[in-house]
Amino acid sequence: MQKRVFLALLLAWVATAPLWSASWAQADTLVGKVVAIADGDTVTVLDRDNRQHRIRLAGIDAPERRQPYYQPSRQHLAKLAFGRHVTVEWHKTDRYKRIVGNVLVAGEDVGLSQVRAGLAWWYRDYAREQSSEDRRRYEAAENEARSQRRGLWQEPFPTEPKRFRRERR
């Protein structure tokens, strides 16, 4: 009898698992205007209530201030997003209290554009937080930028920002 009850409860739990996991994975949305570019993967968005939000672009890692391609990465992001109205689809904040999300300008993912231009790495450490479609697109964009030797891929051995940060400690 206990086995049947346990199995029934287990089956009910398994049947509802897609529902609760889907709600957890749902993104929140922020709409506003980009008013500042901190670097190649961080922007500030001003919302309708005149509140500023620091946004870390999900799925990418751009060169740090003292790395080659820092300025071109920052300038490219500014060209794509500064002064533009954006939609930010996000699901978490990082340890610095920045929103981590995809920044979309007219439906185009600016983080993916940074990777495609060879001005940011696809941040594989956080790939599990991306949809399978985003993982596929970001990986393909980085592979194409590498093969075309765009941006930082012109360097013989570009140093990933996470390694650069670790070595500077």
Q: Which residues are catalytic?
A: 56, 64, 98
Paired tokens of 36: 């500042």
Q: For residue 27, give every residue at least 6 positions away whose Cβ sits within 8 Å of its Cβ, in sequence order, or none.
A: 89, 90, 91, 101, 102
Residue pair 61/162 in contact (Cβ under 8 Å)? The answer is yes
CA gap 61, 158 in Å, rounded = 13
Q: Could you give the C-alpha distances from 155 to 5, 76, 140, 158, in angstroms and in order? A: 62, 18, 19, 6
